[in-house]
Structure 1
Amino acid sequence: MQFPESWLREFCNPPLTTQELAETLTMAGLEVEELAPVAPPFSKIVVGEIKEAVQHPNADRLRVCQVDVGGAAPLTIVCGAPNARPGIRVPCAQVGAELPPGDDGKPFLIKVGKLRGVESHGMLCSARELRLADDHGGLLELPLDAPLGQDIRQYLNLDDTLFTLKLTPNLAHALSVYGIAREVAALTGAPLKPLAFPVAPVGHADKLPVKVSAPDLCGRFSGRIVRNVNTQARTPQWMVERLARCGQRSVAPLVDISNYVMFELGRPSHIFDLDKIHGGLEVRWGRAGEQLKLLNGNTVTVDDKVGVIADAHAVESLAGIMGGDATAVSDTTKNIYIEAAFWWPKAIAGRSRRYNFSTDAGHRFERGVDPQLTVEHIERITELVVQICGTAETQCGPMDDQCVNLPQAQPVTLRVARAAKVIGMPLTQVQCVQALQRLGLDVTEGEGVLTVVPPSYRFDLLIEEDLIEEVARMVGYNQLPTTPPLAPITPKLPLESTRDPFAVRRQLAGLGYQETINFSFVEERWEHELAGNAQPIRLLNPIASQMSVMRSTLLGALLQVLKFNLDRKAERVRVFELGRVFLRDASVKSSDTTVEGFHQPMRVAGLAYGAALPLQWGSKEQGVDFFDVKGDVEALLAPLQAQFEPAEHPAMHPGRCARVRVAGREIGYVGELHPRWRQSWDLQQAPVLFELELDAVLQRPVPGFRPVAKHQSVQRDLAVVVAESVTHAQLMGAIEAALPATTLRGAVLFDVYRPKPLRAGEEAAVGALAQGEKSLAVRLTLGSDVATLTEAEIEAAVQAVVEQLAARTGAKLRA
């Protein structure tokens, strides 16, 4: 809600500065989001009248003007504006004037200058040069009664301030300047200007037949016919300026009047061209297939969930949202029908969003508008229509007011003791009564209990808590005492065997990954392709068609981030995300943190693309591969020991994908993107991805302390020949099973050898490895806490390893 301070002070003018007024409104719950001046600072610009404008002797597009600014003699000013002509009054910047800063941010100083040989003693200004509007079509023309020589800032009230309020949905009564003035009067005690609605004299007896067929849509419908209006009249400058300062541009006089009363009193209304209405009007719910061309040019199709106003031929308006083009007023309009109605908020809420637009009318009606003053507001509109568009033949018809289903105000009870307990400060009954009466509420007192029947404009007061909030606002939130909490606070310490998710984020950042945050709803195609999920969880009301299902994997969003960066010429991308995925699970029951039938675990996923290392002199550039990311996963899980085994995943390369296990539990996958999806995403290189269960990543073994070994350990190297299918995990498993942990201090694979393929007709050398075999070299570190190992003990340990390898993997010592 935007409005000028000067308009507010016409209704209620408290002895507060602009900043104090803004602070008062904010502390009462009407948050002032922004304060902005109407115009930037400038000086020595006054009202001037062009007395003479002759052609410049040396320029076709310039005129030499004689301008009267109320001084002893007129000023000679050279001007190139197309509308510079005798008889108009315009802003005139005198010599020494300082105009608002231009695009370069520097103020513009007016000096005596020569234009094509003619001296110019000032400058005539457009609205754009004064930074009042973007229009640069010519000089800003002022009314002919503008006093000559008066400072333009004073004449146009340019020292005014624009207030922008950020209102919560329950403050719909403050969606008008008068509504805010009512709040200011209650907060400050300053008098509120009473409203007067003079009744227009009736000049004819005609009424437009109106039938309200949907009482659940429209509770009250009021209207009046006004004949012989002049729609080509000009909207007064004061109204144009006030609308502009409310963020509304001037359109035409009748439209401007309707908008003006909406900002003034908070009631949207509509003015029909009476001669374009066929028969009468019917207020009803729409019918499937009916279409309407709106004032904004859009053509919409309605159904039985949308309210309409229709005549005998077609739908003419979306109820409470926007009028139709067919009955819109125009320059040829002569007779009009003014309508003001009460629309039930639930019947309007959400309807405009179905058509992808919003209106000021819909914004107000879906929050609630006073149902009691439709007739008075039509009288206000009529007064302005007669004043601005009236002619000698203008005649107003009688008021047609149909009340079919008005809301009934229910009394609300406030317990003083309850209010004191909720607000957290001692309150007396007198304080509560005064606070509510300042808001204009009718209060009935009992023994510690107050009963209020809300006025028609306070439709938000329904329960006791609403009245408690009003008391707190009037007493002042800044009056609440600062009291420490009374309950004992016991910090919840995390287990030593876990770490915080932020530690995971920091570690991944240290590995060169950047965090990204993505939506939990994704394209259905991603679920089919990347997760192999044939039945994803669908959204009932997706925010976009391409975000129709809940994700069961984080990989799709990471690929989307990769594509976004590659499209912007990024060469090396490493990103990760910690987020929730959504899986069907019938075993999950409903609770405070779960939804029945759905499992929502947290996962961590990462993606690496491009060079393995940033560009540097110390190493050759090479692309990131499976083992680079596998190393990152091992670093992330350390000191837990992860096992990797060949696996398949819908998103990953069939031969370059591994399942990750920790302590026998499967926790995720790591691998290259599947070539099929790499091609569909148009990627020059295969990114490497991983996705892990976050709860497993957060686990940390509690450190166990043991003394440093007093006896020297020994190392022995073994080279064994095994089948190509034997994995590193199988090899290490056999070694660890052969010896107790007190003897085996460590085992490291340090060499892998495979024979070269034989050429046609070539025979293998004696003792060479056969095709399908490989040689693995392992370094064993052996030791004892009791004594230094003897040669016999060392040989026995090595022999036990060899035997276990032979038994488990079929390994044999390499000759």
Structure 2
Amino acid sequence: MQFPESWLREYCNPQLTTQELADTLTMAGLEVEEMEPVAPPFTGIVIGEIKEAVQHPDADRLRVCQVDVGGPELLNIVCGAPNARVGIRIPCATVGAELPPGEDGQPFKIKIGKLRGVQSFGMLCSAKELGIADDHGGLLELPLDAPLGQNVREYLNLDDTLFTLKLTPNLAHCLSVYGIARELSALTGTPLKQLSFPQAAVAVQDKLPVKIEATDLCGRFSGRVVRNVNTQVKTPQWMVDRLARCGQRSVSPLVDISNYVMFELGRPSHIFDLDKIHGGLSVRWGKEGETLKLLNGNTIKIDDFIQVGVIADEKEVESLAGIMGGDATAVSDDTRNIYIEAAFWWPKAVAGRSRHFNFSTDAGHRFERGVDPEHTVEHIERITALVLEICGTPETQCGPMDDQKPHMPTPKTVQLRVARAAKVIGMAVTQQQCLDALNGLGLPAVVASEGVISVTAPTFRFDINLEEDLIEEVARMVGYENLPTSKPLAPISPKLRAENQRSPFAVRRELAALGYQETINFSFVEAKWEAELAGNADPVKLLNPIASHLSVMRSSLLGSLLQVLKFNVDRKAQRVRVFELGRVFFKDASVVDSDTTVKGFYQPMRVAGLAYGAADQLQWGSTETKVDFYDVKGDVEALLAPLVPVFEPAEHPAMHPGRCARVLLNGKAIGFVGELHPQWRQEWDLAQAPTMFELELDAVLARNVAVFKPVTKHQAVERDIAVVVKEAVTHAQVMDAIRAANSGGILRNAVLFDVFRPKKLKAGEEAAPGSLAQDEKSLAVRLTLGHDERALEETEIETAMQAVLEQLKQSVNARLR
């Protein structure tokens, strides 16, 4: 919110310097983000009038002007501006004047000079040379009644200061100069100038039919017909200057009037060209497929993703409710009859709609935060008065006010406990202090009971809903700088983590030790990722995405990691190993509201990793190999250690059908590990398939509590066996059979250390006698046997070995090789 200090002081003028004024606003929560002068420093520039302008004898583009600056003699000044002509009044820098500093930071001093042989006793100035505009379109032309010889800084009020406020969303009532003045009056006790809105004389009984179909969109709609206005007049300079100092350029008189009242009173309004409206107006929700060309030139199309309010006539949509008018009914130089509209749009009906169409407006910014519904009629009277003053003609006629109030907000009553306020603020406050603070802000406060104050929120305060809101207002009026500094007193008790849990930070350190780097990504992703990589046909959709393609909440971390991989590969990264700990989102009707959950949504934490490129860093000691499934499987085992996971073949939408495994821990599935599906590898244009994993974080955080076990004093015994099984028999089946054998409790471990498969036979070639069949393989397993209390006897060892072989035969039809 930007505005000039002088405009604010018209409504409330406390005895404070500019800096003190800024500090007062900032310490009340209205942060003054920036202060800058309207114009840079300069001296000696006065108002002059060109009495004579003749061609320079030796230069086609120069004129020799005789300039009257209110002195006894005319000044001879050479000027090259294209609009230098007799009769105009302009800024004139006399000899000795100093212009604003240039690029070198030094002021430019005016001296008597010669241009092509003609003496010049000064300089005629443009707005750019004075530092008050960027446009160098010639001399700055002043009104013809500007007093000759008066200092330009004084005449144009260039010693004014521009304030830029950084307002929080709950301060919608301060999005106007008058709203800020109301706050300043409460803060300083300086009287606030009261506004009056005299009613315009009604000369015609014309009314435009308006039907409010959606009361959840529009709670109040006021309007008036004004006929025979002159739109070809020029906007008064005082209004142009004030709009410019609010950051708004002048467009046309009617548009400028509407914008002026918005900055003055916080009331966005719209002025229609009455003759371009077909029949009456209808206030309703837009229908899918309807289009509207806006005043900014954009054409929008209404879809079913989000409800959008519109104002439509009998033929087409004419305006985007609370945001921007349409081009079809825009006022122009040919406009003669107008319809002035001021409405109350429910904040929830406007919020997010501008962002949905990728633009923002001052009107939408105000309406989505809340605009006072009580004074639409008074503000139309203000607009009408300005229209009559600026665009009025002897034939101008005003119609009666049409005011419809189908759904006005219900005033909210909130109670404040003085003791609670003192506790929250951190200093003692009295009941009278609270009453004075609240009433000073225009919040009608009365004593409900001893120590309890009741406040009925006024119509311009949409942010007063809770007791804490009133406490904040009291604190602002007390002044944040006046609050005491007191150290908090609270018992400190350490929160000890259970021994069977580790922290997410420990998981991060473990993955970092395995060579992965952490990434942090948005929780909202492309809908395409959810469909392709997560197989999620019904993701959680965002109502107001920050970007059109980031429209859904993720149910998998893999898409985010692939995006990081793609970003790095496109920048010639050869080896990428990344991981993320993050939340994923699912729809789940069984979830209820609580301190940590949201009704209808399941939001678990997961950990995911991705490896791409070489398995190891570049080195001389070994040949470079590409990372594969088993490398990442080993990383998962290391991450879960000392727990031992089990891997079983599975399918995942993002992973290769034959190179994907489900990870099980204690019989429960906790995630997947596998290569990227060839289809997605091709779509993402990757030279090789990355290997990925994604696990439930809760399962990863769990760990077994360490249990002391003495080291046996007796040496273990190792025996190797080689068994022949069918090719279809898996390693897991073999290990399960070995562990199931009745070994008498002395089997300690079993490790596969060799696999042998026969060479494929050529056509007509026969296998050697006793060799393996083509559908068989030989597995070599090392068994470790031992006893904690004694050495093993040979008979025990042999019995255990036979039990293992017998179990392998029964379970997987294995034979000893």
TM-score range, shorter chain: 0.7 to 0.9
Alpha-carbon deviations, 1:48-87, whole Å to 9, x = none? 86968787899877778899999999697785x6556675
Q: Match of 2:604?
A: 601
Q: Match of 1:160?
A: 161
Partner SS, residue 695 of structure 2: strand
How far apart are residue 263 of structure 1 and its match?
0.4
Unaligned ranges ≥5, structure 2: none
How far apart are residue 348 of structure 1 and its match?
5.7
Q: Match of 1:206?
A: 204
Q: Match of 1:4?
A: 4
The aligned amino acid for 2:440 is R
Alpha-carbon deviations, 1:270-294, whole Å to 9, x = none? 3344555677x55654786887654
Q: Match of 2:263?
A: 263
- Name the CA distance, whole Å, in 2 between partners of 1:95 and 1:60: 28
Q: Match of 2:362?
A: 360
Partner SS, residue 697 of structure 1: helix
How far apart are residue 343 of structure 1 and its match?
5.3
Q: Match of 1:438?
A: 440
Q: Match of 1:235?
A: 235
- Name the CA distance, whole Å, in 1 between partners of 2:816 and 2:120: 105
- Name the CA distance, whole Å, in 2 between partners of 1:758 and 1:43: 99
Q: Match of 1:645?
A: 648
The aligned amino acid for 2:576 is V
How far apart are residue 757 of structure 1 and its match?
2.8
How far apart are residue 260 of structure 1 and its match?
0.9
The answer as to 2:684 corresponding to 1:686 is: no
- Name the CA distance, whole Å, in 2 between partners of 1:361 and 1:313: 25
Q: Match of 2:36?
A: 37
How far apart are residue 701 of structure 1 and its match?
1.8
- Name the CA distance, whole Å, in 2 between partners of 1:764 and 1:357: 77
- Name the CA distance, whole Å, in 2 between partners of 1:264 and 1:309: 25
- Name the CA distance, whole Å, in 1 between partners of 2:671 and 2:503: 19
Q: Match of 1:556?
A: 559
The answer as to 2:217 corresponding to 1:221 is: no
How far apart are residue 740 of structure 1 and its match?
7.8
Alpha-carbon deviations, 1:338-379, whole Å to 9, x = none? 444555656666666676654333443454444454454344
Q: Give the number of equivalent residue pairs.
A: 802
Asked if the contact 2:541–2:552 (Cα under 8 Å) also holds between the matched residues in 1, the reply is yes
- Name the CA distance, whole Å, in 2 between partners of 1:471 and 1:191: 20
**Same amino acid, percent of matched pairs:** 65
The answer as to 2:190 corresponding to 1:187 is: no
The aligned amino acid for 2:663 is V
The aligned amino acid for 1:757 is K
Q: Match of 1:667?
A: 670
Partner SS, residue 182 of structure 2: helix
- Name the CA distance, whole Å, in 2 between partners of 1:122 and 1:627: 85
The aligned amino acid for 1:166 is L
Asked if the contact 1:47–1:92 (Cα under 8 Å) also holds between the matched residues in 2, the reply is yes
Q: Match of 2:509?
A: 506
- Name the CA distance, whole Å, in 1 between partners of 2:63 and 2:574: 60
Please tell me the root mean square deviation across aligned C-alpha atoms, in Å. 4.9
- The 5-angstrom pairing of residues 259-658 of structure 1 reads 259-273=259-273, 276=276, 284-285=283-284, 293-298=293-298, 317=319, 320-342=322-344, 357-390=359-392, 393=394, 395=396, 397=398, 400=401, 402=403, 404=405, 414=416, 416=418, 419-420=421-422, 425-445=427-447, 447-448=449-450, 449-450=452-453, 452=455, 455-458=458-461, 461=464, 466-477=469-480, 479=482, 490-518=493-521, 520=523, 526-532=529-535, 536-537=538-539, 539=541, 541=543, 543=545, 551-567=554-570, 569-582=572-585, 593=596, 599-615=602-618, 619-658=622-661
Partner SS, residue 579 of structure 2: strand
CA 1:591 to 1:249, structure 2 compared with 1: closer, same or farther past 3 Å? same
Alpha-carbon deviations, 1:190-249, whole Å to 9, x = none? 33233355666x5x72243244543944546253636453x3333344432322332322
- Name the CA distance, whole Å, in 2 between partners of 1:459 and 1:199: 28
Partner SS, residue 212 of structure 2: coil
- Name the CA distance, whole Å, in 2 between partners of 1:654 and 1:151: 80
- Name the CA distance, whole Å, in 2 between partners of 1:38 and 1:374: 34
Asked if the contact 2:352–2:544 (Cα under 8 Å) also holds between the matched residues in 1, the reply is no
Partner SS, residue 627 of structure 2: coil
- Name the CA distance, whole Å, in 2 between partners of 1:285 and 1:586: 32
Alpha-carbon deviations, 1:602-622, whole Å to 9, x = none? 322222233334555555444
Partner SS, residue 235 of structure 1: coil
- Name the CA distance, whole Å, in 2 between partners of 1:356 and 1:679: 33
- Name the CA distance, whole Å, in 2 between partners of 1:715 and 1:93: 108
The aligned amino acid for 1:381 is I
How far apart are residue 630 of structure 1 and its match?
1.7
- The 5-angstrom pairing of residues 19-38 of structure 1 reads 20-32=20-32, 34-38=33-37
Asked if the contact 1:609–1:624 (Cα under 8 Å) also holds between the matched residues in 2, the reply is yes
Q: Match of 1:178?
A: 178
Alpha-carbon deviations, 1:153-195, whole Å to 9, x = none? 99553662332232324x3322211111110110122332333
Q: Match of 2:757?
A: 754
How far apart are residue 709 of structure 1 and its match?
5.3
TM-score normalised by structure 1 residue count: 0.80
- Name the CA distance, whole Å, in 2 between partners of 1:282 and 1:23: 47
How far apart are residue 437 of structure 1 and its match?
2.8
Asked if the contact 1:40–1:100 (Cα under 8 Å) also holds between the matched residues in 2, the reply is no
The aligned amino acid for 1:433 is L
The aligned amino acid for 1:698 is L
- Name the CA distance, whole Å, in 1 between partners of 2:769 and 2:64: 111
Unaligned ranges ≥5, structure 1: none
How far apart are residue 573 of structure 1 and its match?
3.4
Alpha-carbon deviations, 1:366-414, whole Å to 9, x = none? 54444454454344434444544456x3656475364656667577665
Moved more, 147-156 or 451-460: 147-156
- The 5-angstrom pairing of residues 59-74 of structure 1 reads none
The aligned amino acid for 2:251 is V
Partner SS, residue 606 of structure 2: strand
